[in-house]
Structure 1
Amino acid sequence: MDKVTIMSRKKFLEWIPPISKEQVVAIRIGDRPPVKDTASKRYLDTLSLAFYDEWTFADEIDRSTPEGSNRLTEKDKVIIDEFIDQYANKNFVLHCEQGISRSSAIGYYILKRLGYIEELNDKKDSSLFFPNIEVYGLLIGKPYTKDTATELMNELKSLE
């Protein structure tokens, strides 16, 4: 099993990890706060997040909206970082609706943060994923703006 497995919500609901549940944690991403279901019981722990799959320049986002505005926030980043740090020695399974954008942005971030560069490059080479640049930028500390857009796109495409 890969360090990070990325899939759609539909596949996640059917998928059974090929290793002991004590070795696997899950990050679940939806548009609205997700409901825990029986699929979550297949994992040691589950982090559920709710944010939309949008690409908006950071300086154009209205962050004054109340919590639950469905944008990934700095608070979410802290929660994600704590979850990664807590389970750095486990395998991660991530899903969003299609398993292409939001989950791959977090998956790429996990692999980069934990130093799994070969697996990160394999995922980039696969062309199965199109990471959400707004999410990825916030996670790596380079908010997606007009000034950083090209740099972030190049980082997502490069094999480093």
Structure 2
Amino acid sequence: MDKVTIMSRKRFLEWVPPVSKEQVVAIRIGDRAPVKDAASDRYTDTLSLAFYDEWTFADEIDRNTPVGSNRLTEKDKIIIDDYIDKYSDRYFVLHCEQGISRSSAIGYYILKRLGYKEELNEKKDSALYLPNIEVYGLLIGNPYTKKTATKLRKELDYPE
């Protein structure tokens, strides 16, 4: 099993991890606060996040948004970092609606943060994912702006 497995919500609801529940945790991403369901019971712990899949330059939005915001916030980053640190010895399974951009942005971040360079490069080379650049930039501490866009696109191996 990969350190990070990224999938769609539909697949997540049907998928059973090939390792014991004690070895794997999940991160679930939706547009609204997700509800725990039977699928969450297959994991040691489940982190549920709610934010939209938007792509806007950081210098054009207000990150100090109230609770219930539709954007990933600095507070969310702290929650994600704490979750990664707490479960760094486990496998991570992530899903968003399509399993392409929000979950892959967090998945790439987990791999980078924990030093899984080979797996990160394999995921980049697979062309299965298009990580949300706004989310990824916030997580790595390099917000997506007009000045950082080229560097972030290169780091994510986006096609030119």
Range class of TM-score, shorter chain? over 0.9
Moved over 4 A (4+): none
Going from structure 1 to structure 2, the CA distance change for 1:62 and 1:10 (only over 3 Å counts) comes to: same
2:45 is matched with 45
* 1:15-41: CA deviation from partner (whole Å, max 9, x where unpaired): 000000000000000000001100000
Return the alpha-carbon distance in structure 2 between the equivalents of residues 34 and 91 of structure 1: 21
Alignment of structure 1 residues 72-111 onto 2, 5 Å: 72-111=72-111
Structure 2 counterpart SS, 1:59: helix
Aligned residues: 158
Return the alpha-carbon distance in structure 2 between the equivalents of residues 59 and 102 of structure 1: 20
Equivalent residue letter for 1:79: I
Equivalent residue letter for 1:84: I
Q: TM-score, normalised by structure 2?
A: 0.97
Return the alpha-carbon distance in structure 2 between the equivalents of residues 64 and 88 of structure 1: 29
Equivalent residue letter for 1:121: N
2:154 is matched with 154
Structure 2 counterpart SS, 1:82: helix
1:135 is matched with 135
Structure 2 counterpart SS, 1:157: coil
Give the gaps of 5 or more residues in structure 2.
none
- Once the two structures are TM-superposed, the CA of residue 105 in structure 1 deviates from its matched residue by 0.3
Query: Is the CA contact 2:64–2:73 (under 8 Å) kept in the aligned structure 1?
Result: no
Q: TM-score, normalised by structure 1?
A: 0.97
Query: Is the CA contact 2:26–2:47 (under 8 Å) kept in the aligned structure 1?
Result: yes
- Once the two structures are TM-superposed, the CA of residue 64 in structure 1 deviates from its matched residue by 4.6
Equivalent residue letter for 1:96: C
Query: Once superposed, what is the RMSD of the aligned Cα atoms?
Result: 0.9
1:6 is matched with 6
1:70 is matched with 70
Return the alpha-carbon distance in structure 2 between the equivalents of residues 63 and 47 of structure 1: 21
Query: Is the CA contact 2:3–2:92 (under 8 Å) kept in the aligned structure 1?
Result: yes
1:58 is matched with 58
- Once the two structures are TM-superposed, the CA of residue 8 in structure 1 deviates from its matched residue by 0.1
Return the alpha-carbon distance in structure 2 between the equivalents of residues 66 and 76 of structure 1: 12
- Once the two structures are TM-superposed, the CA of residue 63 in structure 1 deviates from its matched residue by 3.2
Equivalent residue letter for 1:98: Q
